[in-house]
Structure 1
Amino acid sequence: MQKRMVMAGALALALALVSGTAAADPARVMIPANPGGGWDGAARHTLAAFARSKVFTDGASFTNKGGAAGTIGLAEFVRTAKGDDNALMVTGVIMVGGAISNKTPVSLADTTPLLRLTNEYNAIAVPAASPIRTVQDFMQALQTDPGALPVGGGSAGSVDHVMLALLAKHAGAPVSKINFVSFSGSEILAALGGGKLRAAISGVSEFRRFADSGRIRIIAVSGPTRVEGLNAPTLRESGIPVEMGNWRGFVGAPGMSAAARKLWLDRFAALHGSAVWQETLKTQGWEDAYLPGDAFAAFLKSEEARWSDALRDVGILK
């Protein structure tokens, strides 16, 4: 009997060691942006869904560190989270472009890739009282005098910036003359609603509630189809061949153990299959873009090459 008890104790200890500290500690989540923006929402809604679905109930702490297309937060995450099996960072295409355009000494290659989780298309929004009523009006203003059309978006080199550059190219306006104004987090909404910007480009979910309340108007979306419940055409149906998506996902800390990586991937797989997550996707207006593990790591490498080419093509990267 005593021998069986010793063996049972050893087995329990072994299981605990395989799970690592991640089995008992809250997640420590780096959000490389100011509160209120797309990355902030992606991180907080995902961890809330973990709790509601009972997949991961140990809680989470969040650190917001915005600036430079998320690369300031990335640098701090790489510096401070090494070997932490419970440290996560939300990331996305904006960070890929930002690391390239800012030529940062750190990149996503310094983290432990986990998965791509969602995709969201952009929207073009204008102040409620703007004389710009349609996307054709916007394109005309861009063609006439791009410098007189301040358009807000994320950091330089972001998907918002590239989208504006592509729109300028289609309008026949010089990309070097566009007036792109960088914002972080929810500051762009205050600037747009207050009339400091003539237009802004960002994720549909960031603009939608302000459009629903009448503070701003969405005049176009960048996806292949219209967004359900939103009275705004796609760029393509308006005759503009531009389609831009903004994927988001999670990485782990540099040096995350193989056991912890598997544990987090198993947790995300369980979350992805839950009814709670399907409802989260619907309420947030996100597309399911689930791509875990090694496939995501390969995708990141291909994204770096694709965005290097895109940034050079529109003249952002020399």
Structure 2
Amino acid sequence: MKLNSVFGAVIAFVVMTAPAMADPAVVLAPGSTGGGYDAMARLPFEAMRKEKIFTDGAQFTNRGGAGGTIGLAEFVNTSKGNDNAVMSMGAILIGGIILNNSPVSLKDVTPLVRLTNDTGAIAVPTNSDIKTINDLVAKMKENIGGVAIGGGSAGGVDHIAMALLAKSNGLEASKLNYIPYAGGAEVVTALAGGSTTAAISGLSEFRSLAQAGRIRIIAVTSKERVEGIDAPSLTEAGYPVVIGNWRGIVGAPGMSEEAKKTWLDRFQKMHGTETWKATLKKQNWEDAYLSGDDFVKFLDQEVTNQTATLKDVGLTK
């Protein structure tokens, strides 16, 4: 064999057997740092890193506002065809898309997985004269516009929950004095600082403050009471409202089928790990795993449901 043929064979062997250089994931959270979308963006990658499922690193960006649609627009416009680009999202984003007449929607991305559900919690400052959910409803009946209620983005699941509560008491949801914030961290700050009469956010974001005695939870939005929370569900208190803030992950527009399959496999493996189970417990998240085509069908139904609900409670036409 000629010498150059030997060298050629060696080079070919090295090229074929050398591992491909992997790129870090590019992860966008359409909410502020410290909020629910931020945690949903970062913690799955932390779990995958610890379990050695995905160890190529990740670059995180936060872009909150307008119900998550500002982040969604950036993701759609900058990530097309990027097999390493993913974005956290959830129920609030659907309402944001509808309410803001967003030029981009979930049809423009690649749905991957729903991972969690976060029960909503309604809370007041500890020094408030509002002791129960019935007290809050009574104040709303006296002057609905005089009760400042902080929550997530306009049209999101927090807004819808309060609108449904108002409607169940014969009040006009359009007259709610609802103050939207870019993320859960801002809602917590506003409530703890007394900037709002009451606030609604995920239980995962309110529980630690309640346990520290900084705020008082007066109701949860799950069907039943939540263990460890000294407050009734809205249903138990006589208000037929059950709603949760689910969250998940989508991929970039035009993500290849091969990459989609790879990400679905990674998230499936992560979902079964002890690290992820511990994360769910620590964050007070409910496991709501749903992937692939099942997640796509769920999203289609959620868009239909939220469109009807927003119209029904007078938040959109």
TM-score between the two structures when normalised by the length of structure 1 = 0.93
Aligned position for 1:217: 216
Amino acid at match of 2:46: A
Aligned position for 2:164: 166
Structure 2 residue 178 is matched with structure 1 residue 191:
no
CA distance in 1, matches of 2:271, 2:77: 30
1:44 is displaced (CA, Å) by 1.7
The equivalent position to 1:130 in structure 2, one of 112, 128, 153, is 128
Amino acid at match of 1:79: N
CA distance in 2, matches of 1:77, 1:12: 34
Aligned position for 1:148: 146
CA distance in 2, matches of 1:188, 1:169: 23
1:95 is displaced (CA, Å) by 0.6
Amino acid at match of 2:308: D
Q: Please, which runs of 5 or more residues in structure 1 have no aligned partner?
A: none
CA distance in 2, matches of 1:102, 1:94: 12
Aligned position for 1:317: 316
1:225 is displaced (CA, Å) by 2.2
CA distance in 2, matches of 1:98, 1:151: 18
Amino acid at match of 1:290: Y
Amino acid at match of 1:163: A
Aligned position for 2:199: 200
Instruction: Say which SS state the counterpart of residue 237 (structure 1) adopts.
Output: coil
CA distance in 1, matches of 2:254, 2:25: 16
Aligned position for 2:282: 283
Equivalent residues of 2:174, 2:313 under 8 A apart: no
CA distance in 2, matches of 1:128, 1:287: 27
Aligned position for 2:81: 83
1:150 is displaced (CA, Å) by 0.4
CA distance in 2, matches of 1:269, 1:156: 32
CA distance in 2, matches of 1:310, 1:5: 65
CA distance in 1, matches of 2:315, 2:284: 30
Aligned position for 2:55: 57
1:42 is displaced (CA, Å) by 1.6
Aligned position for 1:70: 68
Identity of aligned residues (%): 54
CA distance in 2, matches of 1:110, 1:133: 45
Instruction: Say which SS state the counterpart of residue 236 (structure 2) adopts.
Output: helix
Aligned position for 2:42: 44
1:229 is displaced (CA, Å) by 1.8
Equivalent residues of 1:142, 1:171 under 8 A apart: no
- The superposition leaves residues 159-182 of structure 1 with CA deviations (integer Å, 9 ceiling, x where unpaired) of 111111111111222212110001
Amino acid at match of 1:58: D
Aligned-residue Cα RMSD (Å) equals 1.9
1:93 is displaced (CA, Å) by 0.8
CA distance in 2, matches of 1:58, 1:258: 20
Equivalent residues of 1:116, 1:289 under 8 A apart: yes
1:7 is displaced (CA, Å) by 8.7
Amino acid at match of 2:235: R
Q: Please, which runs of 5 or more residues in structure 2 have no aligned partner?
A: 1-5
Aligned position for 2:180: 182
Equivalence map 1:257-296=2 (5 Å):
257-296=256-295
1:208 is displaced (CA, Å) by 1.1
Equivalent residues of 2:158, 2:200 under 8 A apart: yes
Instruction: Say which SS state the counterpart of residue 279 (structure 1) adopts.
Output: helix
Instruction: Say which SS state the counterpart of residue 100 (structure 1) adopts.
Output: helix
CA distance in 1, matches of 2:92, 2:155: 7
Amino acid at match of 1:187: E
CA distance in 2, matches of 1:284, 1:103: 32
Aligned position for 1:231: 230
1:228 is displaced (CA, Å) by 2.2
- The superposition leaves residues 97-152 of structure 1 with CA deviations (integer Å, 9 ceiling, x where unpaired) of 11011111000110011111111110001011000000111111111111010000
Instruction: Say which SS state the counterpart of residue 152 (structure 1) adopts.
Output: strand
Equivalent residues of 2:149, 2:177 under 8 A apart: yes
Amino acid at match of 2:113: L
Structure with greater Cα Rg: 2
